[in-house]
Amino acid sequence: MNILFYIAALIAIFATVRMVTGTNAVHSLLYLIVSLLSVSVIFFLLGAPFIAALEVIIYAGAIMVLFVFVIMMLNTGSGGVRKEHELLKASTWIGPGITSAILCGEMLYVLLAPAFHPMNRIEIPPAAVGALLFSKYILIVELAAFLLAAGIIGAYHLGQKPKLSHHRYLKNEEAAT
Amino acid sequence: MSELLWLIVALPFAGSLLLAMAGKHLPRLAAAIIGVGSVALSAIVMLILGLDFLHGNPAGVPIHQTLWQWINVSGFSPGIAFHLDSVSLTFVFVITFVGALIHLYAAPFMWKDEGFARFFSYMNLFVGFMLLLVLADNFLLLYLGWEGVGLCSYLLIGFWYKDPANGYAARKAFTVTRVGDTAMVIGLFILFTTYHTLNIQDILVATPHTWAPGSTIATTTAFLLLGGAIGKSAQVPLQTWLPDAMAAPSPVSALIHAATMVTAGVYLIARTHVLFELAPVVQSAVAVIGAVTLIVAGMAAIYQHDIKKVLAYSTISQIGYMFVALGVGAWSAALFHFMIHAFFKSLLFLGAGSVIAVLHDEHNMYKMGGLWKKMPVVFWTFLVGACALSALPLITAGFYSKDEIIWQAYASDKGSITLWLTGLAGAFITALYTFRMVFLTFFGKAKAEPAYRQGMGMTLPLVVLAFLSFVGGFIQLPDNMGHVTLFSHFIQQVLPATTPTGTAVIAGLPSGHAAEWIAQLIAAIVSIAGLTLAYRLYYNKPFPAAEPVRNPIQQFFFKGWDFDLLYDKVIVQPIVFFSRIDKNDVIDQFYTGLASVAGLFNKGLAATQNGKLRWYAMALAIGAVITLTILLST
Amino acid sequence: MTIPMQYGLLLAAILFCIGLAGVLVRRDVIFMLMSVEVMLNAAGLAFIVGGAARSSADGQVMFIFILAMAAAEVSVGLALIIQLYQKFKTLDADSASQLNG
């Protein structure tokens, strides 16, 4: 069973790297889905089957479909691909690469320092999660509900096409810009 | 009934707030209904309360209402509290009643203006603050109203803000009145340090026991309060702002710069009369200032060609009369003239506004003429107002109110023959400039055609005000003519009666009723003489439409005795000169250095704000790295 | 049979840093948004690992909250991308730099 963890981890890292370095948006998206699926395998191995299912359904399913919609809707064409290709030169990578590498190194240093601590593979059933969610964390659940409501309203508002303004002052302003 | 008192103040404020918040989205009709309705409702509440006060309360026990406590700091606890007695009621009556009529007139007058809702929001705000001023039971609340009306005056003078001249006039009005207000605040500080309260009634009761008559502190305080009154009421030497304030729309001039706000000084002095009686020097200064003002402003009014400026100088001059009355201790005469003046002067301003509006914003009287046939309602009402202003005997209200002042200037124990003669000279000048205005505007050859006819909304207030200017005088008739004392009896619930000298001021002249008859006869002759002179000089004379050429003396009067020039030379230019010299001293350089260092930091930090999302993300990442590094290394 | 807790956290850290590098390097806002998703997912993974080490459900609860937040963030973010594209006709994040001070 342990070998499954390592394989899934390697696939996740590999797919994420390909996603970040890819030039085609659809390909990158597919790599991202692969990465998310492999992380969901890890969740399953860690005794969180409910979360693994959520990861597949919501992350790899719903959210990624949104991305697909937007990519298809905007349809930037192959010009964007070529431009992205020019951007992926060493000089653009060197600063962010070093920063991320230092951060990663520091985190590894911190994580490897303490003593061995095994991860239990005791399965925590969804019922336990739900019970905790609606007792101890009920306030945060409501806050999350607010957040989602705000997200819906915000997305609806932002997604509208700009209306034609009939006010003459605004019209003059638009003409000036 | 008396618990409705707060409504009088709250209604205009509510209207103002509503219009300020939602005015842009309201249709004009709704804005007009809110703007006019709030003041009209306030007037109705006032009428109910006032009738109740008159009938159910013959002794005139003041109505007191505390809404809530405003501040409470170590014993200093002014409240939001109202005090209604006969003096406040007179002012509240004029503010709400005349205010409602002017609002009604303003609705059609401003109909085509794009700032319609803004206009009514300011107007309602003004009425609210003015009511706060006259109803306040403590000086702090009074001062809030005092500054509030100043603010509204500023906002409304600069209402048509697209013309820089209007903005300049607004700033001038604000700055000049600020000089007086500063004096007034210092006076209030003195009152507070002495009595540890700002409650007006408490102070008025305590003052005669603590301060000796004529003592330095009483004189100083009264003098400082007088400073505030002078600034607000546009008396010499702070009168220069009022003629410029005519940049405001005509209803504003009628309400703020004629009927109500400029008489706040009269209210302040009447309200604190105890203090002024303790300082005889200051009280005679009030009379002298009033006398000087009424001559200065009257002379200036004769040479104006702008119809509104004639009325502006005339307002200054009439308030001068009220100051004379206050100065000689004729309190009720001052308030009576205030009320009558509010009627006829707002009538004249509204009439002038109608003329200006129908002639396409033409202010120059030399370009008008012959309008009496074309605008009959405006003409006849304007004529009634003009007769009242020039105090034509027996029939007009202005005669009864002004004659009372002129008579008291002679007959009161504080009066003198000089004040009396000044008053008479003022009456002559008043009749002269008033009928000059009437003859130039309404008679002679027509030089411009009215563009349209006015509707009912504009003529109704004119007719009502004309009616009041006509009959308003009969509630207070002199001793020798019927002796009706409804008004003075009412005011004397609060303010003391005038003390007559009892003897003739000058030996050999008769006293008592005989003297009063003679004085009235002289006053009547003087005002008719002024009318006659105006008739001889201006009736049906072929004046050119262009601005007349003036000799230096006429120019001097035209410019309002060149007070602006004087202040510019004596005050403004030296200050500008010194500040120019002082611009580069060590201290300034230190602060300039500080500012430039701050500017450098600004430039450096502004460079990091380049609007690039990735740049910000990079900053976040580097910050995280640095934080983690510091955490790990400790 | 058990895997040390560090390994799970290591994986989370590596995924997080790859996502971070993606946000910093890419100029296409869609790629930046995807990289942010990777970072969020890595944070969620760290919670699950912590929960598994303590055998408690709290970690999973936290993941659910992260999920809700990610959903809201993506919906608003994608709407913003559409607006950006309509206004500038490009998805280059650097071209939308009107907020420079």
SS3 of residue C28 by DSSP: strand
* Rounded Cα distance, B250 and B382, in Å: 14
Average pLDDT, rounded, for chain A:
82
C-chain residue closest to B615, CA distance: C24
Amino acid at A79: G
Q: Is A110–B624 a contact, with Cβ atoms under 8 angstroms apart?
A: no
* Domain co-membership, B189 together with B307: no
CA distances to B210, B217, B334, B492 from B278, rounded to whole Å, are: 11, 10, 19, 19
B335 and B198 share one domain: no
Containing structural domain, residue A39: 2-124
Q: Which of B253, B267, B405 is nearest to B328 (CA)?
A: B405
- Residue at B84 is within a domain: yes
SS3 of B491-532: the string is HCCCCCCCCECCCCCCCCCCCHHHHHHHHHHHHHHHHHHHHH
Interface membership of C74 toward A (CB under 8 Å): yes
- 């797919």: which residue's tokens? A15
Substitution target in C49, C56, C64 with the highest count of A β-carbons within 10 Å is C64
In a domain? residue B99: yes
The answer to whether position A109 is within a domain reads yes
Whole-angstrom Cα distance, residue A150 to residue A164? 25
**What's the CA gap between B285 and B578, in Å, rounded?**
33
Contact B618 A99 (CB under 8 A): yes
Is the predicted pLDDT of residue B451 greater than 90, yes or no?
A: no
**Among all chains, which residue has been given the structure tokens 């007034």?**
B184
Ramachandran assignment for B482, one of left (phi > 0), alpha (psi -120 to 50 degrees), beta (any other): left
- Give the DSSP H/E element, type plus range, for residue B68: strand B63-69
Residues B329 and B409 in one domain: yes
Q: Give me the pLDDT at residue B303, please.
A: 86
* Residue A91 neighbours by CB under 8 Å, 6+ apart: none
Mean pLDDT over B199-214 rounds to: 87
Number of domains in chain A: 2
Between CA B323 and CA B292 the distance in angstroms is: 10
Cβ proximity of C82 and A69 under 8 Å: no
Query: Looking at the domain assignment, is residue A100 inside a domain?
Result: yes
Q: Indicate if the pLDDT at residue B536 is higher than 90.
A: no
d(CA B417, CA B423) in angstroms, rounded, equals 10
The shortest CB-CB distance from A133 to any of C11, C61, C79 is to: C61
CB–CB of B267/B259 below 8 Å?
A: no
Q: For B301-325, give the secondary structure using H, E and C.
A: HHCCCEHHHHHHHHHHHHHHHHHHH
Report yes or no: B367 and B448 within 8 Å, Cβ to Cβ. Answer: yes
The structural domain count of chain B equals 3
> What does the pLDDT look like over B212-227, one tens digit per residue?
888 888 899 999 999 9
A157 contacts in chain C (CB < 8 Å): 79
Tokens of B453: 């006819």
Question: Which H or E element spans position A40?
Answer: helix A25-45
Find which of A149-158, B370-379, B537-546, B584-593 is predicted with most confidence, using mean pLDDT: A149-158
User: Cβ of A97 under 8 Å from any chain B Cβ?
Assistant: no
- Residue among B36, B157, B31, B11 at smallest CA distance from B103: B36
The answer to the question of residue B569 being in a domain is: no
The string of pLDDT tens digits covering residues B254-298 is 888 888 888 899 999 998 888 888 888 898 899 999 999 989 998
Residue-range domain boundaries for chain C: 5-90
Are C32 and C26 contacting, i.e. CB atoms less than 8 angstroms apart? Answer: yes
Q: What is the pLDDT of residues B329-338, one digit of tens each?
A: 888 888 888 9
Are residues A85 and A27 part of one domain? Answer: yes
Q: Residue B69 pairs with which residues in a beta bridge?
A: B79
- What percent helix, strand, coil does chain A show, rounded to 5? 80, 0, 20
Residue type, B98: V
Q: Are residues A61 and A106 in the same domain?
A: yes
Per-residue pLDDT of B34-48, as tens digits, reads 999 999 999 999 998
Does some domain include residue B575? no
Nearest to C24 among B605, B610, B618 (CB): B618
Residues 4-63 of chain C whose Cβ lies under 8 A from any Cβ of chain A: 4-11, 13-22, 24-28, 30-31, 33-35, 37-38, 41, 45, 48-49, 51-53, 55-61, 63
Q: Is A176 within a domain? A: yes
Distance CA B82, CA B67 (A): 8
**Do residue A119 and residue A142 come from a single domain?**
no
Strand partners, B412: B500
Which of the four CATH numbers 1.10.10.10, 1.10.287.3510, 3.40.50.300, 3.40.640.10 does domain C5-90 have?
A: 1.10.287.3510
Same domain for A55 and A96, yes or no, is yes
Q: Quick one: which H or E segment has residue B278?
A: helix B273-278
Angle between helix axes B376-389 and B456-471 (nearest 10 degrees) is: 30
Enclosing H/E stretch for B596: helix B586-608
Among A58, A95, A103, beta carbon nearest to C67:
A58
3-state DSSP assignment of residue B130: helix
Band of pLDDT at residue A173, cut at 50, 70 and 90:
low
Are B298 and B429 contacting, i.e. CB atoms less than 8 angstroms apart?
Answer: yes
Using pLDDT thresholds of 50, 70 and 90, give the confidence band for residue B507.
very low
A96 and A21 housed in the same domain = yes
| pLDDT at B55 (0 to 100) | 83
Reference B195, options B183, B208, B181, B182; nearest CA is B208
Q: Lowest mean pLDDT: which of B347-351, B583-587, C75-79? A: B583-587
Q: Quote the tokens at residue B114.
A: 């794009």
Boundaries of domain holding B613: 585-633
Considering Cα of B34, then B40, then B41, then B46, what sign does the dihedral take?
positive
Of the ranges A112-116, A159-163, B601-605, the best mean pLDDT one: B601-605
Determine the pLDDT at residue A83: 60
What is the DSSP annotation of B219-250? HHHHHHHHHHHHHHHT-TTSTTHHHHGGGS-H
How many whole angstroms separate alpha carbon B11 and alpha carbon B128?
Answer: 8
Task: Say yes or no: C81 contacts chain B, CB-CB below 8 A.
Answer: no
Quick one: which of B381, B379, B404 has its CA closest to B391? B404
B510 to each of B479, B502, B513, C82, how far by Cα in Å? Answer: 16, 11, 9, 97
Does the pLDDT of residue B506 top 70, yes or no? no
Alpha-carbon distance of C10 to A104, in angstroms, equals 9
3-state secondary structure of B472: helix
Report if residue B576 sits inside a domain.
no
- Look at residue A120 and tell me if it is in a domain: yes
Q: What is the pLDDT of residues B138-174, one digit of tens each?
A: 899 999 999 999 999 999 998 988 888 898 999 999 9
Most confident of B66-75, B185-194, B468-477: B185-194
By the 10 Å C-beta count (0-12 exposed, 13-18 middle, 19+ buried), A92 is classed as middle
Q: Which residues contact A162 (CB under 8 A, 6 or more apart)?
A: C86
Give domain status of residue B325, yes or no.
Answer: yes
**What tens digit of pLDDT does each residue of A19-52 get?**
988 888 888 899 999 999 999 999 998 888 899 9
With contacts defined as CB-CB under 8 Å, which chain C residues touch B621?
A: 20, 24
The Cα–Cα gap between A144 and A142 comes to: 5
**Domain-located, residue B562:** no
Check CB contact under 8 Å for C31 and A95. no
Peptide bond before residue B108 is cis, with ω within 30 degrees of 0: no
Confidence of residue C37 (pLDDT cuts 50, 70, 90): very high
B125 to chain C, minimum CA–CA distance in Å? 39
β-pairing, B79-84 vs B63-69, is antiparallel
Question: Which two structure tokens, joined as six digits, stand for B7?
Answer: 């409504």
Axis-axis angle for helices B417-442, B397-411 (nearest 10): 160
**Residue B507 DSSP one-character state:** T
Q: Assess C96–B contact: CB distance below 8 Å, yes or no.
A: yes
Torsion of CA B257, B262, B263, B269, to 10 degrees: 180
Which amino acid, one-letter code, is at A93?
W
Domain-located, residue A170: yes
Buried b (16+ CB within 10 A) or exposed e, B587-602: eeeeeeeeeeeeeeee
Q: Which long-range contacts (CB under 8 A, 24 or more apart) does B61-67 make?
A: B62/B201, B62/B494, B63/B2, B63/B5, B64/B137, B65/B2, B65/B3, B65/B5, B65/B6, B66/B137, B67/B6
pLDDT beyond 80 at A77: no
| Token pair recorded at residue B105 | 């007139």
Instruction: Work out how many CB contacts closer than 8 A connect A with B.
Output: 21
Q: Considering the domain boundaries, does residue A131 fall inside one?
A: no
User: What does pLDDT average to over chain B?
Assistant: 85
Q: Are residues B449 and B420 in the same domain?
A: yes
CA A121 – CA B29 distance, rounded (Å): 75
Please report whether residue B266 resides in a domain: no
Q: Cβ separation of B618 and A109 shorter than 8 Å?
A: no
